[in-house]
Amino acid sequence: MKLRVRINRLTSRVEVPGGDATLQELSDLIKQTLLSSHGLSVSTEFSLSLNGSELLSDSGQTLSSCGVVSGDLICVLLPPQPPPVATATPETTTGVQQAADGTACQQPSSSSDGGPAALMEPLQTCGEQEAAAAAAAVWEPMLCSEAEDGQAPLSLELLYHSARVSSPDEAVMVAVHLLMLETGFTPPQGSELKPEEMPAGWRSAAGVCRLQYSHPLCGSSRISVVAVSMGLLLVINVTLKVTETVDTVRKLQLEPSGYVTDRWTGGSAAAAFRKLKKLSQSFKDQLAYPLIATARHAMALPMAFGLSVLPPELLLRVLRLLDVRSVVRLSAVSRHFNAAAADSMLWRHLYRRDFTDGSRSRDTDWKELYKMAYKSRSERRRAARHLFLPPFPRRDIISPVPRPLFPPLPGIIGGEYDQRPHLPHGLLPRPRYDPIGPIADPAGRPPVLRRPPTGGQAADVRRGFI
């Protein structure tokens, strides 16, 4: 059984061997392994408690009979120590004051001859001891968004062990219930639940998980969460019922194997879960916060979070971190953002940041000045680009290149006459191998093109004389 033991606000992890270990065995294990590491002797008397107030007195009782399960936090209560007594001797110039936790800090004496530096050395020694004690403390996350791999909030540990999950899907739903509680959702009124208990009837025999919530920012609206396993995915459907006629349904698909390890059964929540930070971000951004915004919008209530509810000073701080394109785009979202983006001091900051020219009077229109400087810089960059890059002619690669009406004269047999036999005779000039042209008419009339007979070309009678 794996347990967590807290001594003087420092938490350690121990593993008790055996299935039915007793309180005496746990006490002996603490004496042997933990007391010396916390600066305590083995003979120190202490008591054990689950909640820090009620003692577990019967040492022969087993841990399971006391209600202790794997992953629980055991508090070690030490007897009260007497108040510290400061002593000083004439031979020494400094005293040692015993602290309540057993640590010693050297205190300066009035008879010290070392000056201010000698007075600061004891104070630095105390500060170093406190820093070392703080560094030795084990930091535990309070929210799922703060947990790294191998860590889990105490609230998730309690929910996980009280739910007694039997599948990775149920383990994810336990984390979903905690995320809903972290966002401000509460179970319906009338169901008295402890923080470490899951709602009654949250899972059914068919493998369907159902949860009901309400939210103080959503008025009388009701939120229903239904999770159904579909193969390797867990589909979470969230229904928001604002009035009798307004219903909104949102869906989120999760892969349980990405958030639950293979040690999900029989171990602690820190060993069972992984990537809790990613799960918290995905669930809250896609389901929890959009549900609140949708409910308030349907009930005609003002927004509860986002940029629109920030005070003007904080909104200007956000705008100062953006580039000018983002500022202009944000100004087109609503009148509220348009008024915030038109602030003169904002454009003064943007102008000085982007152009490093602050020699202007206070009554300058900084927005118009930024426009002029931005256009001038764009023109200079465009001119420099055309100056260093040679102009390339634009070619039309889509439409075909037009061929000339009269191509060059072919000089070989097999030219245009053979490649294009469908062209009418006489359209192209005669080839060079036929040096004799048509007979010129003395009257200057153009030659008459005779249609060749069907089946061949017209014969030239002059070829017989050559």
Segment 359-391, tens digit of pLDDT: 666 667 889 999 999 999 998 888 887 766 665
What pLDDT does 94 receive? 40
- pLDDT > 70? residue 457: no
What pLDDT does 173 receive? 93
Which of residues 322, 341, 358 is at a domain's end? 358
What pLDDT does 283 receive? 93
Is 295 in the same domain as 310? no
- pLDDT > 70? residue 427: no
What pLDDT does 459 receive? 54
Is 285 in the same domain as 174? yes
The share of the chain scoring above pLDDT 70, in percent, equals: 66
pTM (whole model) above 0.85: no
Is 267 in the same domain as 346? no
- pLDDT > 70? residue 231: yes
Is 234 in the same domain as 338? no
CA 374 – CA 430 distance, rounded (Å):
66
Is 43 in the same domain as 24? yes
What pLDDT does 420 receive? 65
Q: How confident is the model at residue 92 (pLDDT cuts 50, 70, 90)?
A: very low
- pLDDT > 80? residue 444: no
Q: Does 430 fall in a domain? A: no
CB 38 within 8 A of CB 7: yes
- What would the pLDDT profile of 43-87 be if each residue is shown by its tens digit? 788 888 876 777 777 667 787 777 787 777 888 888 776 655 544
What are the backbone angles phi and psi of residue 399, rounded to the nearest 5°? -75, 145
Is 192 in the same domain as 267? yes
> Which residues, 6+ apart, have CB-to-CB distance to 26 below 8 Å?
3, 16, 48, 63, 74
Give DSSP secondary structure letters for 242-258. -SSS-EEEEEEEE-GGG
Is 58 in the same domain as 187? no
The total domain count for the chain is: 3
DSSP state of 287: I
Q: Provide the domain limits for residue 350.
A: 306-358
CATH number assigned to the domain comprising residue 24 = 3.10.20.90
- What would the pLDDT profile of 237-269 be if each residue is shown by its tens digit? 998 888 777 688 889 999 999 999 988 777 788
Q: Which residues of 17-42 are buried (b: 16+ CB within 10 A; e: fewer)?
A: eeeebbbebbbebbbeebbeebebee
CATH number assigned to the domain comprising residue 163 = 3.40.1000.30
What is the overall mean pLDDT for the chain? 75
Q: How confident is the model at residue 330 (pLDDT cuts 50, 70, 90)?
A: very high
Q: Does 419 fall in a domain? A: no
Cα dihedral sign, 26-29-31-33: negative
Is 281 in the same domain as 316? no
Is 238 in the same domain as 347? no
Is 226 in the same domain as 339? no
The pLDDT of 30-51, averaged and rounded, is 79
Q: Does 111 fall in a domain? A: no
Is 334 in the same domain as 235? no
Q: Does 288 fall in a domain? A: yes
Which of residues 60, 77, 94 is at a domain's end? 77
Q: Does 326 fall in a domain? A: yes
The pLDDT of 324-340, averaged and rounded, is 92
Q: Does 134 fall in a domain? A: no
Q: Does 416 fall in a domain? A: no
What pLDDT does 394 receive? 61
What pLDDT does 438 receive? 53
What pLDDT does 307 receive? 83
The pLDDT of 24-31, averaged and rounded, is 83
CATH number assigned to the domain comprising residue 346 = 1.20.1280.50
- What would the pLDDT profile of 104-133 be if each residue is shown by its tens digit? 444 444 444 444 444 444 444 455 555 544
- pLDDT > 60? residue 422: yes
Among left, alpha and beta (phi > 0; psi -120 to 50; other), residue 269 is: alpha
- Alpha helices (H) in 284-394, listed in sequence order: 289-298, 312-320, 324-331, 335-341, 344-355, 366-388
Is 238 in the same domain as 322? no
